[in-house]
Structure 1
């Protein structure tokens, strides 16, 4: 985020706190908030992508399960947990974002494992709770 944008946002917040609604740049503020939500969802979807991919690798290549796979799972889950702690309402997005990411996860996992894409279930096989559970590794 550029310094100019930060200053503009700070100014908009100041106007809102002072109830100077007629001076708020509403159209641009809406655009910025929508863009922020989009970036947050993209980041969360990316982390879920990594979690799902590593769970599939652990499940479908158990003999190759490594400490680096588990470390990646732990790190991505911890990052998601931090985000959910900051913004608890994102918890309800976990399932839909994971299901949305799943087709790309299958393709990426198939490339990395050299297993046919049909090896993996056509629908996301993990619940949102399993995706976030640090103790869950198939």
Structure 2
């Protein structure tokens, strides 16, 4: 079957298991044609929910990376590299892009900030080989500092 052909003998629900991309294309078509009775609503609801979760997990991952590198930058000043600064800039840009695309993620950023710091603290200790107790139990950086494109610890 060619990529632009839609199987006529298979239901939208069955297509989900066989060809996800084609399932998405068909979902868009069915929705645009208001053919709701043919739509695989159960999987569509799940996929839409997963999209939101995926965006949140991506935000958390980027935040953890920024926090980890800020910790390394502050507590291993003798080992600072352009690579660390690059990583901080790159992941800040990803966070800002996520906020532009989904402003509601700012609320999630604030809600998960402390949890992300705890994870970043563990990662920083592991990566640096420093005792985790060297890093403060609560973030020495504010959410505003983390988002500030020019902020780097002294």
Counterpart check, 1:121 vs 2:154:
no
2:98 alignment partner in structure 1: 83
1:110 aligns with 2:125: yes
Equivalent of 1:7 in 8, 22, 46: 22
**Larger Rg, first or second structure (1 or 2):** 2
The two structures, once aligned, show a CA RMSD in angstroms of: 2.1
- Find 2:81's aligned residue among 56, 61, 66: 66
Task: Identify unmatched segments of 5+ residues in structure 2.
Answer: 1-16
Q: Which structure would you say has the larger RCO, counting Cα contacts within 8 Å and 6 or more residues apart?
A: 1
Tell me, which stretches of 5 or more residues in structure 1 are unaligned? none
Residue 98 of structure 1 corresponds to which residue in structure 2? 113
Structure 2 equivalent of residue 48 of structure 1: 63
Q: TM-score, normalised by structure 2?
A: 0.77
Structure 1 pair 84–3 and aligned structure 2 pair: CA distance change class (3 A): farther
Q: Matched residue of 2:119: which SS?
A: helix
For residues 101-124 of structure 1, give each alpha carbon's deviation from its aligned partner in whole angstroms, at most 9, with x where no partner exists: 222211111122222111112123
Give the secondary-structure state (helix, strand or coil) at the position aligned to 1:38: helix
Moved more, 70-79 or 107-116: 107-116
**1:26 aligned to which of 41, 44, 47:** 41
Report the CA distance between 1:14 and its aligned residue. 2.8
Q: How many residues align?
A: 137
Q: Which has the higher helix share?
A: 1
User: Residue 19 of structure 1 aligns to a residue in which SS?
Assistant: coil
Equivalent-residue separation in structure 1 for 2:65 and 2:18 (angstroms): 32
**Could you tell me the TM-score, scaled by structure 1's length?**
0.85
* CA contact 1:95–1:127 (8 Å) conserved in 2: no
